[in-house]
Structure 1
Amino acid sequence: MLAKYIERILRARVYDVAEETPLDFAPNLSKRLGNAVYLKREDLQPVFSFKLRGAYNKIALLTERERASGVIAASAGNHAQGVALSAQMLGITALIVMPRTTPEIKVNSVRGRGAETILHGDSYDEAYAYARQLAEQKKMTFIHPYDDPDVIAGQGTVGMEILRQKTGSINAIFVPVGGGGLIAGITAYVKFVRPETKIIGVEPDDADCLNQALKARSRVTLKQVGLFADGVAVRQIGEEPFNVVRDYIDEVITVNTDEICAAIKDIFDDTRSVAEPAGALALAGLKKYVEVTEASDQTLIAIESGANINFDRLRYVAERAQVGEHRELLLAVNIPEIPGSFLNFCRLLGNRNVTEFNYRYFDAGQAQVFVGVSSSGSGADKAELVNQLQTQGFQVLDMTANDLAKEHIRYMVGGHTPCQLDEIVYSLQFPERPGALLGFLSALGGRWNISLFHYRNHGAAFGLVLIGLQMPKAESHAFEACLDELGFGYTEETENPAYALFAGGNKM
């Protein structure tokens, strides 16, 4: 399996348009982690992503007849830009189908490289299906973003460059995984040339299609995927990539949103560049690997795969980075509703920086506060603070790992329900497109009363919604069927303590 890719990779025609990107030593990360950490800077490609390699290699190998008919692709960003630039360089007509939720900056970038764009559907899957349909109708060649040997070979040149740039021992290379084209190409080359080097895939914990496929020993389709790291939000690993990597990669690590945001900050601190969430994914996995295995004095390489991030998303990234570094704790604390109790509470916090403090009068006996405080980053520090507060009679609930608290509740504190509403609460991933809210409300058809609604836009292709509805529990299945039909990702949050304490009117 590996041998058949070596010649493909060596002959790959990527350097007509792609750059050989540097392998940069990360001094701050290396010192902090106790290992030699390097970043493979694919964010420095002309389209700010490695995707250009595979797209150009595939298109450059087309026959004259195929070139004359033009190429078509489906993508929400990086692959689209790679196909558009490749086609422009080779004088080929390109048509790109993009979801309607694609940020305007990415659509304009693709159009600026001479490609025609069609906006269709709210998700990649819908855009992909339509692009396949158009390819048949127009007799154009479909350029797959990852499930194609020529695309995989183009991405494999990243591995070839790494081994040329770092001739000494490499303990592990960490690779972001979406559809699997990049990790398949790197695995094929590195494991053939240096089989002792570990190849470790990294996925978001809410979009781990390779991780689940390896556990099942066959490809699986995830019911839904998280969209924060949209560049790797793929429901099923590619067939050809899975065939390449299943017997050769050493491990898959999953990371959460906070850990990805912390890795974006780490990359900025060392390089002054801003990675997109998928671009920082590999580094987040590298850090987790060091933490879990206590690795030291090793040479570790992370692929910084892209930098196509919207400026509006930086606010959200900054909010979550401190939690991802374990340097902010979010606590729900019960404080006696008597004069001087706040002062006593603040004295217990000592010299810690208070990052936020939310409170609203609700009960004559107890005050429930939502507080953020700085931390040294160690688990012992958190345990010490919680124990100190509890010893003084304060009830404490750790909210640091509670996504509902971080996404919504911290912005809603004080919004207790004034009476018993018998509401059921859901968090939704909401598409960012004109008319999305109207379409959603129309689909509900006035069947249930909306008792709570909180929405956040953080510059991505989706927004985050917390919704409460007054409905009998038996009707929740009908509501969920409505969400399934709309294609919204959702989680019921009625029993989530963050909601119960700060929006539902319960007490600790």
Structure 2
Amino acid sequence: MKVSSYLEKILSSRVYEAAVVTPVSRMTRLSDQMHNHILLKREDQQPVFSFKVRGAYNKIASLSPEQQQRGVIAASAGNHAQGVALAGHKLGLQAIIVMPRATPAIKVDAVRALGAEVQLVGETFEEAAAYAREQSEMRGMAFVHPYDDPLVIAGQGTIGMELLQQVSEPMDAVFLPVGGGGLIAGVAACLKQTRPETRIIGVEPEDSACLHAALAAKERITLPQVNIFAEGVATTSIGEENFRLAQLFVDEVVTVNTDEICAAIKDIFDDVRCIAEPSGAIALAGIKKYIEREQARDQNLVGVLSGANVDFHRLRHVSERSEAREKSEALLAVQIPEEPGSFLSFCEALNHRNLTEFNYRYQPRELATIFVGVSVKKAGENGASLCASLQKQGYHAWDLSHNDMAMDHLRHMVGGTAPDLSNERLFRFQFPERPGALRKFLTELGARWNISLFHYRNHGAAYGRVLCAFQVPEGEQDAFSAFLDDLGYAYWEETDNPAYPLFLAAGCFEAPVAGR
């Protein structure tokens, strides 16, 4: 399709037979805090709580009567599935959604509630998509691509048309989440041909940045793997038509990490009382990073809140990581005398700061090592400054605020060490979180080396995390290293982590160097 044709396709789109014009909300608190005018386009208020209904409906409504009679099929584990299902329901045609077997029940139930037939196939989205395409050809059903289709792109582009009507001030930049590229392609095609001075900025997770990589390489590439925390934008490759439009209209791509996404989810809740899904909050994470990088002031910055289909159980993980990003809590390890009254003295040493967490277990020693969380709100105050203050008062203290092992595992398992263990090595592992994943992980570990510590906690995230210690005799170190490499899981050795001897290491306590 000619680029100039997209404006006509957007204006003639039939999305409003199923979708609604969503409001634009001002982030009052965050705007004042960051000295800019931050606006959010609220696609969480669509009937399926996501913008995906726009493109799906426009595509399906544009099919010929003969094609509609044969029905439609799509592959999706999330918002596109609900968009296709709603379109099928509105138009009275058969809709089949192929979803990976590990798709959460809440998403499967939501699609079925809209009247679509759900088929659970394969372990990954790629396997489900391949099956859906096979069925499309065999049964003559139209395959509805989630992003790489001009009519889907035009449907998403209606967001840009609405922004032109709703935002009266000049828009300095519009930030859009990027997965396969349907949203940014459509909105960019609309805005850049009407308001060329408006910067179009894509936002991607730093470990799922397919558009960022493609623009750098000047060609589409396929990422070997992606982090699926923000599953709505976890795509290994940008769409072909989407990339063509992005090369013409996208000014830049900003990448953000998981903590920055979690902090943006909290910001959205604090300002507008909406719980965004990770991919829905990613545009705001990009706005915040852009402001910090450019030292921007008094700009009109618009982000698209693309969806709010969040797994409720994921929120505890979001809460923990947002505190880390916003630096509102410091995690410390502190040695205090093992004697009555020492806890009170320690609280007094904190000078009325609020304790958010306290973990301790008695040990028959002169000094007890405690794990504490402390609320930090004053400018310039952080874990390092708290440690310095405590050390001046005679305490040995270690800042664990940026220690992933401490945040993800240690704070949930402080309770003492095991005696008489030798040759212990400590590791963190990460694996895809799906039914049976932990059992598979344990099976892969086998029984050659003794497991002396094990901690697993379901964080509601898309990946599982394990902390595990092994007893590895001196003569078996090379074989053990080869075993770890063959496992196929991401891992990090934590034997030298300063938190390890403070709380978990076997045998006699030997304190690491203070402040390490």
TM score, norm. by length of structure 2: 0.89
Give the Cα–Cα distance (whole angstroms) in 1 for the partners of residues 498 and 446 of structure 2: 30
Give a deviation string over 1:385-430, Cα, whole Å, max 9, x none. 2332333454443322333322212112235353234335132134
Change (3 A) 1:384 1:40: same
Deviation at 1:2, TM superposition (A): 4.2
**Structure 1 residues 492-501 or 345-354, which shifts more?**
492-501
Change (3 A) 1:275 1:153: same
Deviation at 1:381, TM superposition (A): 4.8
1:150 alignment partner AA? L
Aligned residue for 2:422, secondary structure, equals coil
Give the Cα–Cα distance (whole angstroms) in 2 for the partners of residues 187 and 151 of structure 1: 14
Q: Which has the larger radius of gyration?
A: 2
Change (3 A) 1:394 1:140: farther
Deviation at 1:495, TM superposition (A): 4.6
Aligned residue for 2:193, secondary structure, equals helix
Give the Cα–Cα distance (whole angstroms) in 2 for the partners of residues 155 and 489 of structure 1: 36
Give the structure 2 partner of residue 481 of structure 1. Answer: 486
**Structure 1 residues 363-372 or 352-361, which shifts more?**
363-372
Change (3 A) 1:444 1:130: farther
**Structure 1 residues 131-140 or 185-194, which shifts more?**
131-140
* 1:59 pairs with 2:60: yes
Deviation at 1:445, TM superposition (A): 4.5
Deviation at 1:68, TM superposition (A): 2.9
Aligned residue for 2:241, secondary structure, equals helix
Give the structure 2 partner of residue 246 of structure 1. Answer: 247
Structure 1 unaligned segments of length 5 or more: list them.
none
Partner residue of 2:431 out of 392, 415, 429:
429
* 1:203 pairs with 2:204: yes
Give a deviation string over 1:258-306, Cα, whole Å, max 9, x none. 3222222222222222211211111122122223322221111111111
Aligned residue for 1:254, secondary structure, equals strand
Deviation at 1:99, TM superposition (A): 1.9
Aligned residue for 1:246, secondary structure, equals helix
Change (3 A) 1:393 1:223: farther
Give the structure 2 partner of residue 14 of structure 1. Answer: 15
Give the structure 2 partner of residue 229 of structure 1. Answer: 230
Deviation at 1:16, TM superposition (A): 1.2
Task: Check conservation: 1:157, 1:186, Cα contact below 8 A.
Answer: yes
Deviation at 1:98, TM superposition (A): 1.3
Give the Cα–Cα distance (whole angstroms) in 1 for the partners of residues 312 and 467 of structure 2: 24
Aligned residue for 1:179, secondary structure, equals coil
**Structure 1 residues 362-371 or 448-457, which shifts more?**
362-371
Give the Cα–Cα distance (whole angstroms) in 1 for the partners of residues 103 and 394 of structure 2: 50
Change (3 A) 1:13 1:286: same
Deviation at 1:470, TM superposition (A): 4.3
* 1:502 pairs with 2:503: yes
1:134 alignment partner AA? Q
**Structure 1 residues 210-219 or 15-24, which shifts more?**
210-219
Give the Cα–Cα distance (whole angstroms) in 1 for the partners of residues 245 and 38 of structure 2: 26
Give the Cα–Cα distance (whole angstroms) in 2 for the partners of residues 209 and 377 of structure 1: 38
Give the structure 2 partner of residue 301 of structure 1. Answer: 302
Deviation at 1:440, TM superposition (A): 3.4
Deviation at 1:10, TM superposition (A): 2.1
**Structure 1 residues 435-444 or 91-100, which shifts more?**
435-444
Aligned residue for 2:192, secondary structure, equals helix
Deviation at 1:307, TM superposition (A): 0.9
Q: How many residues align structurally? A: 503
Deviation at 1:246, TM superposition (A): 3.1
1:436 alignment partner AA? A
Give the structure 1 partner of residue 217 of structure 2. Answer: 216
* 1:398 pairs with 2:399: yes
Task: Check conservation: 1:221, 1:236, Cα contact below 8 A.
Answer: yes
Give the Cα–Cα distance (whole angstroms) in 1 for the partners of residues 29 and 97 of structure 2: 40
Give the structure 2 partner of residue 114 of structure 1. Answer: 115
Deviation at 1:316, TM superposition (A): 2.8
Give the Cα–Cα distance (whole angstroms) in 1 for the partners of residues 383 and 158 of structure 2: 44
Change (3 A) 1:476 1:248: farther
**Structure 1 residues 307-316 or 388-397, which shifts more?**
388-397
**Structure 1 residues 56-65 or 167-176, which shifts more?**
56-65
Give the Cα–Cα distance (whole angstroms) in 2 for the partners of residues 207 and 362 of structure 1: 45
Give the Cα–Cα distance (whole angstroms) in 1 for the partners of residues 253 and 141 of structure 2: 36
Give the Cα–Cα distance (whole angstroms) in 1 for the partners of residues 335 and 255 of structure 2: 34
Give the structure 1 partner of residue 87 of structure 2. Answer: 86
Aligned residue for 1:331, secondary structure, equals strand
Aligned residue for 1:193, secondary structure, equals coil
Deviation at 1:501, TM superposition (A): 4.4
Give the structure 2 partner of residue 151 of structure 1. Answer: 152
1:287 alignment partner AA? K
Give the Cα–Cα distance (whole angstroms) in 2 for the partners of residues 440 and 131 of structure 1: 30
Task: Check conservation: 1:428, 1:490, Cα contact below 8 A.
Answer: yes
How high is the sequence identity, in percent, across the aligned residues?
55
Change (3 A) 1:416 1:427: farther
Change (3 A) 1:453 1:143: farther
Give the Cα–Cα distance (whole angstroms) in 2 for the partners of residues 200 and 226 of structure 1: 21
Aligned residue for 1:226, secondary structure, equals coil
Deviation at 1:45, TM superposition (A): 0.3
Aligned residue for 1:92, secondary structure, equals coil
Change (3 A) 1:440 1:429: closer
Change (3 A) 1:213 1:255: same
Deviation at 1:121, TM superposition (A): 3.0
Aligned residue for 1:24, secondary structure, equals strand
Give the Cα–Cα distance (whole angstroms) in 1 for the partners of residues 280 and 93 of structure 2: 29
Deviation at 1:53, TM superposition (A): 0.9
Deviation at 1:363, TM superposition (A): 7.5
Deviation at 1:86, TM superposition (A): 0.9
TM score, norm. by length of structure 1: 0.90
Structure 2 unaligned segments of length 5 or more: list them.
none
Give the Cα–Cα distance (whole angstroms) in 1 for the partners of residues 359 and 114 of structure 2: 48
Aligned residue for 1:295, secondary structure, equals coil
Deviation at 1:185, TM superposition (A): 1.4
Change (3 A) 1:490 1:82: farther
Change (3 A) 1:392 1:26: same
Give the structure 2 partner of residue 95 of structure 1. Answer: 96
Change (3 A) 1:386 1:119: same
Task: Check conservation: 2:430, 2:463, Cα contact below 8 A.
Answer: no
Aligned residue for 2:365, secondary structure, equals coil
Give the structure 2 partner of residue 458 of structure 1. Answer: 459
Deviation at 1:199, TM superposition (A): 1.7
